[in-house]
Structure 1
Amino acid sequence: MTNPDNTFTIRPARPSDVDAIFKVRTSVQENALTYEELNEIGVTPAFVMQAIAANACTWVAEIDDEVVGFAMIDLESGCLFAVFVSPVHEGKGVGSCLIDVCERALFKEHEMIWLETENDSRAARLYRHLGWRSTMNIGNGDVRLEKRPFGRFSFAYHPQYLG
């Protein structure tokens, strides 16, 4: 998939992308984790490689053959698990396009999809801009956001439409 400006492409991740995925993940400013911290919570190269090999639920964004962003979903649970973009490539639509790819894959299997993020983060603002809605505070400043595909909204689900 190529974005409208043809400045980056999105494709399914390959096992050979694991190092680049970790480079992007450890480069971010918000929700920053070091390589060691990721390993401590079980996000290891082996974990990512297995996720890539097991199913088509991880994508990368490339500019000039360099991975500048990635996204992962958990298709079974309907969760958008991760979207990260290298700080030098923020603001180019990479994150929004990765989210769109994830949403399309998740909505093929689920009526409602979800994610968890810090309530006051830039990421949360982007998700809300893209139609995600807060459904619960899960503690420590984090919230669960949910989304339903357009056309399947329940007006009771979206209180701003009542009245």
Structure 2
Amino acid sequence: MIYREATISDILQIQLVRHSVKENILSDPSKVTDKNCEDYLTVRGKGWVCEIQHEIVGFAIVDLKDHNVWALFIKPEFEGKGIGKMLHKIMLDWYFNQTTKTLWLGTEFNTRAEQFYRLQGWRETGMNGEAEIRFEMSYDNWKYGEAAKA
């Protein structure tokens, strides 16, 4: 497994991973364009991928402008191998080395993602829209809390 910073040339494979998931499925895939991915990778924040034999099997992207996790997805057949946890760690370490502002994300109820974020030390803070839970990770919780231990 190779973990590295995502590049624009990775966008096709990132989109393939995003469209392969069984939970948190996009209601309208056309709304997450290659241009959106490029903006989040190069202007708004940064992303990372996990590659196995030249195939991207997972990715994470964080947004420094809105201080949120824009994406963290793993191909279903590669779940449970620690890839998400490692991408999560890389992403949070980078983010909190750029800023101390609280990071947030939204995810659907009763999903593996919800359980994952709870285990990584995220705190539920309410709703994100009508169909998602909002989680937050503060700088202190990242540095001294559950995220540092996970």
More helix by share: 2
The residue number in structure 1 matching 2:63 is 74
Which position in structure 1 is the counterpart of 2:134?
Answer: 144
Instruction: State the match for 1:159 in structure 2.
Output: none
In structure 2, the CA distance between the partners of 1:116 and 1:56, relative to structure 1 (3 Å rule), is closer
- Cα-to-partner distance string for 1:71-127 (whole Å, 9 max, x where unaligned): 111012221111000011111111111111111122121242111111321101000
Alignment of 1:3-82 (within 5 A): 8-33=1-26, 37-39=28-30, 41=31, 43-54=32-43, 57-82=46-71
Conserved in 2, the CA contact under 8 Å of 1:74 and 1:81?
yes
- The equivalent residue for 2:116 is 126
Scaled by the length of structure 1, the TM-score of the pair is 0.79
Equivalent residues in 2 for 1:94-109, closer than 5 Å:
94-108=83-97, 109=99
TM-score under structure 2 length normalisation:
0.85
Q: Which moved more, 1:19-28 or 1:117-126?
A: 117-126
> CA 1:47 to 1:141, structure 2 compared with 1: closer, same or farther past 3 Å?
closer
- The Cα of 1:147 is off from its aligned counterpart by 1.4
Alignment-derived partner of residue 116 in structure 1: 106
CA RMSD of aligned residues (A): 2.0
- The alpha-carbon distance between structure 1 residues 11 and 142, as it changes in their structure 2 partners (threshold 3 A), is same
Deviates more, 1:78-87 or 1:47-56: 47-56
| Amino acid corresponding to residue 32 of structure 1 in structure 2 | I
Structure 2's unaligned 5+ residue stretches are none
Runs of 4+ in 1 over 6 A off after TM superposition: none
Amino acid at match of 2:11: V
- Checking the alignment, whether the CA contact within 8 Å between 2:17 and 2:58 is kept in structure 1 is yes
Structure 1 pair 55/115, CA: closer, same or farther in 2 (3 Å)? closer
Contact 2:62 / 2:69 at 8 angstroms: preserved in 1? yes
